[in-house]
Amino acid sequence: MNLKALIFGSLASLLLAVSVFGQTTQIKPGRAITISILGVPTDEKTRFDGIYPVSESGMINMPHIGSIKASGLRADELSSVLQNTYKSREIYTNPTIQVLSSSADTLDKQVVYVGGQVRKTGATEYTQGLTLYQAIQAGGGPTEFGTMYRVKLFRNKTQHQYDLTDAKNMAIVLEPNDTIEVPKQNWLGR
């Protein structure tokens, strides 16, 4: 009985130490964090939950709100910032957001980032020859509100806009760390 109590006590101490460590570790650029949400419709949860890369400038790209500063914050601080932002912008009424970060979650793979009106935002693995159209399709394609007429490509602090209904623009080759945004349709459905 004493051996069980000793093992249980040691395990509980270890779990507490890991939990406390995860809450006091600051999020760093070039790493990935896992973010999940509760208290929203299932389709929103599916779109929201995932692994988010922290850019070298310390930003993450979140659905509906865009770029948010993550580096330098602890996981619980970022959770609070995200919850308050979604509430204040009246996007979600009462979200519960969980951020998980660890010192071992570096991004070893090269990625491109897909956001805006796609079914799954976040990082998509970059492979040589990956096209703009393929990256959007890897994100599940545009939502019913998204348009392929004015897709934005951000690269090295420049922005380009492409009509992806034109076949020649579908073949634009991406580079690592490119960011793609599929915008909402305008009143013309474009």
Q: What tens digit of pLDDT does each residue of 92-149 get?
A: 888 899 988 654 444 456 788 999 999 988 888 888 889 999 999 998 999 999 999 9
Q: Which CATH architecture has domain 111-182?
A: Roll (3.10)
- Other Cβ atoms less than 10 A from the Cβ of 148: the count is 22
Question: Considering only CA atoms, which of 133, 139, 48, 137 is closest in space to residue 99?
Answer: 48
Domain ranges of the chain: 25-100, 111-182
Cα–Cα distances in angstroms (integers) from residue 96 to residues 11, 49, 87, in the given order: 28, 12, 10
How much is the pLDDT for 49? Answer: 85
What dotted CATH number matches 25-100? 3.30.1950.10
Q: What is the mean pLDDT of the chain?
A: 82
Task: Locate 107 and state its tokens.
Answer: 């991004």
**Cα 12 from Cα 16, distance rounded (Å):** 6
| Whole-number percent of the chain with pLDDT over 90 | 37
